[in-house]
Protein backbone atom coordinates (compact mmCIF):
# COMPACT_ATOMS: atom_id res chain seq x y z
CA UNK A 1 0.00 0.00 0.00
CA UNK A 2 2.81 2.38 0.88
CA UNK A 3 4.32 1.86 -2.57
CA UNK A 4 1.17 3.29 -4.18
CA UNK A 5 1.50 6.50 -2.14
CA UNK A 6 4.57 7.50 -4.12
CA UNK A 7 2.81 7.59 -7.50
CA UNK A 8 0.45 10.52 -6.70
CA UNK A 9 3.24 12.13 -4.66
CA UNK A 10 5.50 11.93 -7.74
CA UNK A 11 2.84 13.56 -9.87
CA UNK A 12 2.25 16.29 -7.27
CA UNK A 13 5.98 17.04 -6.97
CA UNK A 14 6.47 17.11 -10.75
CA UNK A 15 3.66 19.65 -11.06
CA UNK A 16 4.91 21.62 -8.05
CA UNK A 17 8.46 21.84 -9.33
CA UNK A 18 7.23 23.27 -12.61
CA UNK A 19 5.30 25.99 -10.71
CA UNK A 20 7.81 26.95 -7.97
CA UNK A 21 10.46 28.57 -10.22
CA UNK A 22 7.91 30.97 -11.66
CA UNK A 23 6.44 31.88 -8.28
CA UNK A 24 9.57 32.19 -6.15
CA UNK A 25 12.44 32.84 -8.52
CA UNK A 26 10.62 34.42 -11.47
CA UNK A 27 11.63 31.54 -13.73
CA UNK A 28 15.36 32.01 -13.14
CA UNK A 29 16.24 29.13 -10.85
CA UNK A 30 14.68 25.69 -10.95
CA UNK A 31 13.97 23.60 -7.88
CA UNK A 32 13.83 19.86 -8.50
CA UNK A 33 11.91 18.44 -5.57
CA UNK A 34 11.48 15.24 -7.56
CA UNK A 35 15.24 14.71 -7.38
CA UNK A 36 15.03 14.81 -3.58
CA UNK A 37 12.25 12.22 -3.73
CA UNK A 38 14.44 10.12 -6.02
CA UNK A 39 17.31 10.23 -3.52
CA UNK A 40 14.86 9.38 -0.74
CA UNK A 41 13.60 6.38 -2.70
CA UNK A 42 17.15 5.26 -3.39
CA UNK A 43 18.08 5.40 0.28
CA UNK A 44 14.88 3.83 1.65
CA UNK A 45 13.21 1.50 -0.88
CA UNK A 46 14.19 -1.79 -2.39
CA UNK A 47 15.70 -1.58 -5.89
CA UNK A 48 12.75 -3.08 -7.80
CA UNK A 49 10.02 -0.84 -6.41
CA UNK A 50 12.29 2.18 -6.35
CA UNK A 51 13.39 1.50 -9.92
CA UNK A 52 9.78 1.40 -11.10
CA UNK A 53 9.07 4.63 -9.26
CA UNK A 54 12.18 6.28 -10.70
CA UNK A 55 10.97 5.42 -14.21
CA UNK A 56 7.53 6.86 -13.37
CA UNK A 57 9.03 9.96 -11.81
CA UNK A 58 11.36 10.50 -14.78
CA UNK A 59 8.45 10.14 -17.18
CA UNK A 60 6.41 12.71 -15.25
CA UNK A 61 9.31 15.17 -15.14
CA UNK A 62 9.88 14.64 -18.87
CA UNK A 63 6.26 15.50 -19.53
CA UNK A 64 6.16 18.54 -17.23
CA UNK A 65 9.51 20.05 -18.24
CA UNK A 66 9.30 19.75 -22.00
CA UNK A 67 12.68 18.03 -22.15
CA UNK A 68 13.42 15.55 -24.92
CA UNK A 69 11.47 12.36 -24.39
CA UNK A 70 13.24 9.92 -22.13
CA UNK A 71 16.01 12.26 -20.94
CA UNK A 72 14.85 12.46 -17.34
CA UNK A 73 13.70 8.83 -17.35
CA UNK A 74 17.24 7.79 -18.22
CA UNK A 75 18.82 10.24 -15.77
CA UNK A 76 16.51 9.29 -12.91
CA UNK A 77 17.07 5.54 -13.36
CA UNK A 78 20.82 6.14 -13.48
CA UNK A 79 20.77 8.40 -10.42
CA UNK A 80 18.53 5.97 -8.56
CA UNK A 81 20.98 3.15 -9.23
CA UNK A 82 23.89 5.25 -8.01
CA UNK A 83 21.95 6.24 -4.89
CA UNK A 84 21.11 2.61 -4.12
CA UNK A 85 24.79 1.68 -4.46
CA UNK A 86 25.77 4.59 -2.23
CA UNK A 87 23.19 3.58 0.37
CA UNK A 88 24.50 0.02 0.43
CA UNK A 89 28.07 1.20 0.92
CA UNK A 90 27.54 3.93 3.53
CA UNK A 91 24.21 3.07 5.21
CA UNK A 92 23.61 6.45 6.81
CA UNK A 93 20.51 8.56 7.26
CA UNK A 94 22.17 11.57 8.85
CA UNK A 95 21.37 15.02 7.43
CA UNK A 96 24.95 15.62 6.26
CA UNK A 97 24.90 12.37 4.27
CA UNK A 98 21.49 13.26 2.81
CA UNK A 99 22.78 16.69 1.80
CA UNK A 100 25.97 15.28 0.27
CA UNK A 101 24.11 12.59 -1.66
CA UNK A 102 21.54 15.09 -2.97
CA UNK A 103 24.26 17.56 -3.94
CA UNK A 104 26.23 14.87 -5.77
CA UNK A 105 23.11 13.67 -7.63
CA UNK A 106 22.09 17.21 -8.59
CA UNK A 107 25.54 18.12 -9.87
CA UNK A 108 25.91 14.82 -11.74
CA UNK A 109 22.49 15.35 -13.33
CA UNK A 110 23.51 18.87 -14.38
CA UNK A 111 26.73 17.64 -15.95
CA UNK A 112 24.86 14.93 -17.87
CA UNK A 113 22.25 17.43 -19.10
CA UNK A 114 24.99 19.79 -20.30
CA UNK A 115 26.75 16.87 -22.02
CA UNK A 116 23.48 15.82 -23.69
CA UNK A 117 22.70 19.29 -24.98
CA UNK A 118 26.29 19.74 -26.22
CA UNK A 119 25.47 17.30 -29.03
CA UNK A 120 22.46 19.28 -30.24
CA UNK A 121 23.55 21.90 -32.79
CA UNK A 122 22.80 25.47 -31.82
CA UNK A 123 22.13 24.83 -28.13
CA UNK A 124 24.86 25.79 -25.70
CA UNK A 125 24.02 25.69 -22.00
CA UNK A 126 27.47 25.04 -20.55
CA UNK A 127 27.70 28.63 -19.33
CA UNK A 128 24.72 27.99 -17.04
CA UNK A 129 26.69 25.59 -14.84
CA UNK A 130 28.01 28.27 -12.50
CA UNK A 131 25.12 30.70 -12.64
CA UNK A 132 22.20 28.28 -12.46
CA UNK A 133 23.03 24.61 -11.90
CA UNK A 134 25.40 24.98 -8.94
CA UNK A 135 23.12 27.33 -6.93
CA UNK A 136 20.19 25.05 -7.71
CA UNK A 137 22.13 22.00 -6.48
CA UNK A 138 23.23 23.76 -3.29
CA UNK A 139 19.68 24.98 -2.57
CA UNK A 140 18.35 21.49 -3.18
CA UNK A 141 20.99 19.88 -0.95
CA UNK A 142 20.37 22.29 1.92
CA UNK A 143 16.62 21.73 1.79
CA UNK A 144 16.83 17.93 1.32
CA UNK A 145 16.75 17.00 5.05
CA UNK A 146 13.54 19.01 5.45
CA UNK A 147 11.94 17.18 2.53
CA UNK A 148 13.15 13.85 3.93
CA UNK A 149 11.34 14.62 7.20
CA UNK A 150 8.20 15.45 5.23
CA UNK A 151 8.45 12.21 3.26
CA UNK A 152 8.95 10.22 6.47
CA UNK A 153 5.96 11.96 8.03
CA UNK A 154 3.83 11.07 4.97
CA UNK A 155 5.03 7.46 5.22
CA UNK A 156 4.07 7.37 8.88
CA UNK A 157 0.59 8.76 8.14
CA UNK A 158 0.09 6.31 5.27
CA UNK A 159 1.28 3.41 7.41
CA UNK A 160 -1.05 4.42 10.26
CA UNK A 161 -3.92 4.72 7.80
CA UNK A 162 -3.11 1.33 6.30
CA UNK A 163 -3.36 -0.53 9.62
Q: List the domain boundaries for the chain.
A: 2-162
Instruction: Say what the pLDDT of residue 4 is.
Output: 77
Instruction: Say what the pLDDT of residue 107 is.
Output: 92
Instruction: Say what the pLDDT of residue 141 is.
Output: 93
Phi, psi of 46 (to 5 degrees): -75, 155
Give pLDDT tens digits for 74-121: 999 999 999 999 888 887 778 899 999 999 999 999 888 888 877 777
Q: 68: which DSSP letter?
A: P
**pTM, 2 dp:** 0.87
Low-confidence stretches of the chain (pLDDT beneath 70) = 1-2, 21-22, 24-30, 124-131, 162-163
**Euclidean distance between CA atoms 68 and 50, whole angstroms:** 23
Q: Of the CATH numbers 3.30.540.10, 1.10.1760.20, 3.40.50.720, 1.10.3720.10, which one belongs to the domain with range 2-162?
A: 1.10.1760.20
Amino acid sequence: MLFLLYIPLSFFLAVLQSIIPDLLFFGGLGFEISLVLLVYLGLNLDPVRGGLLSITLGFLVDDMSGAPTGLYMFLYVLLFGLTVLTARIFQSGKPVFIMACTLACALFESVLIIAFYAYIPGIRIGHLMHSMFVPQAVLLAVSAPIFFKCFRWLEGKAHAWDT
